[in-house]
Amino acid sequence: MSSVPPITLNDGNTIPQLGFGVFQIKPDQTAAAVRSALEVGYRHIDTAEMYGNEKQVGQGIRDAGLDRREVFITSKLNNGYHRPDDARRAFDDTLSALASDYVDLFLIHWPLPTLYDGDFVSTWNVLEEFAKDGRARSIGVSNFQIAHLDRLAERSQTVPTVNQVEAHPYFTNDEVRAHGREHGIVTEAWSPIAQGKVLDDGVITRVADAHRKTPAQVVLRWHIQRGDIVIPKSVHPERMKSNFDIFDFSLEGSEMDAITGLDRGEPGRTGPNPDVFAYIPD
Ligand SMILES: NC(=O)c1ccc[n+]([C@@H]2O[C@H](COP(=O)([O-])OP(=O)(O)OC[C@H]3O[C@@H](n4cnc5c(N)ncnc54)[C@H](OP(=O)(O)O)[C@@H]3O)[C@@H](O)[C@H]2O)c1
C-alpha cells in the first residue's frame, strides 16, 4: 500500500522515510487524526510525552484496525525527566499510554545543556538500557547540536540512530546534518514546511507550478531527496493525503539547489535554539 521508502538505521532497524507528526494536535482530535493518517497510508507516527497525546495515538492505531506491529511509533522523553530514575518512570508511562510493550524509536527530546549540570550522557545511558531490554527498538536524540553529539560519542558506547532537528528551506541546518551523515546518524526534519511559513515563497511556488504539485509537496520532496526523514503534521485529511503523495515526481538538481539557497541561517529558525532552550513543562 505504501510507497514510502524505508531507511536503514545504524542498528539495522528500518524506519519509513515519511511519517506523520502529531505536535499541537489536541488530545481529543488525535485519535481521529492518526486514524485518518493511517487510512491515507502513513505507517510512522511521531509523538512525544510533551505533546500530551500518546494515549490517543495508541487509540488511533487501534481504531484504524491495524496491528501495533504495522506502525512505526516514535516517542520522546520529556524535559523534566532527564534524571535516570525519572527517565525510567517516564518511559514506563509512555509505554502504558501507548498501550504497547515497546516503542520503535525513543528520543531525548532536548539536550538541555544549561540544566542538569549539562549532563545528558547519564540520560542517554538510560535509553541504552531500554534498547538493551528491547522495549525501545531504536534510540536516538532530538535537537542535539554537534557539540552535544561529540560529547555522547566520547562518553558512551552507542551512536544515536537519528537526530530529529528543525530543518526546512529557511533553516537547512546543514552543518548538523553533515555531521550526522559522517557519523551514521540519520537526520529527521521537524517543522519540515516551517509550519506553513515557506509555502508562499516565490522560488517554491515556481518549482511547484513547474511540476503541477503544491508548494508543500515540493518542500517535502526536497527533504526526501536530501535523504532525511520527514514528519509533516496536519489535521486535515486532504492535506495528509497530498503530503503523502510525493513519490511520483523528482526535483532537478537545479531546483534542489534553488530551494536549499533559501537558507537564512540562524535567523531562519522558527523554534528555540537548543544551546539555550531550558523549558520544563509544569
Ligand atoms: N523534536 C522536536 O523538538 C519537534 C519540534 C516540533 C515538531 N516536531 C515534530 O515534527 C512534526 C512536524 O512539525 P510541525 O507540526 O511543527 O510543523 P509542519 O509539519 O512544518 O507544519 C504543520 C503546519 O502546517 C499546516 N499544513 C500541513 N500540511 C499543509 C499543506 N499541505 N498545506 C498547507 N498547510 C499545511 C498544518 O495545518 P493543519 O494541521 O491545519 O493542516 C500545520 O499548521 C510535529 O508534528 C512533531 O511530530 C518535533
- Prediction pTM value: 0.98
Looking at residue 278, its pLDDT comes to 98
Ligand 1 pocket, 21 CB below 6 A? yes
Ligand 1 pocket, 140 CB below 6 A? no
Among 73, 103, 195, which is best to mutate for testing ligand 1, by the most ligand atoms less than 8 A from CB? 195
| Nearest Cα residue to 25 out of 33, 17, 13 | 33
* Phi, psi (degrees; rounded to nearest 5) at 141: -130, 170
**202-224: per-residue pLDDT in tens?**
999 999 999 999 999 999 999 99
**9-30: per-residue pLDDT in tens?**
999 999 999 999 999 999 999 9
Strands of the sheet with 136-142, listed across from one edge: 20-21, 44-46, 72-77, 103-108, 136-142, 162-166, 186-190, 229-230
Q: How far apart are CA 186 and CA 188, in angstroms?
A: 7
**229-241: per-residue pLDDT in tens?**
999 999 999 999 9
Ligand 1 pocket, 193 CB below 6 A? yes
Rounded (to 5) percent helix, strand, coil in the chain: 45, 15, 40
Ligand 1 pocket, 191 CB below 6 A? yes
* Phi, psi (degrees; rounded to nearest 5) at 162: -135, 160
* Rounded distance from Cα 194 to ligand 1 centre (Å): 7
Looking at residue 1, its pLDDT comes to 42
Residue 206 CB neighbour total at 10 angstroms = 13
Residues 241 and 40 sit within 8 Å (Cβ to Cβ): yes
Q: Which of 42, 51, 81, 170 is catalytic?
A: 51
**Residues contacting 280, CB < 8 A, separation 6+:** 79, 80, 115
| Nearest Cα residue to 263 out of 167, 169, 154 | 169
In the chain, which residues have pLDDT < 50? 1-2
Residues 103 and 68 sit within 8 Å (Cβ to Cβ): no
Looking at residue 3, its pLDDT comes to 87
Q: What b/e readout covers 64-94, taking b as 16+ CB neighbours within 10 angstroms?
A: beeeeeebbbbbbbbbbbbeeeebeebbeeb
The contacts found for 89-97 with CB under 8 angstroms, 24 or more apart, are 90/49, 91/126, 91/130, 91/135, 91/136, 93/49, 94/49, 94/54, 95/135, 97/49, 97/54, 97/55, 97/58
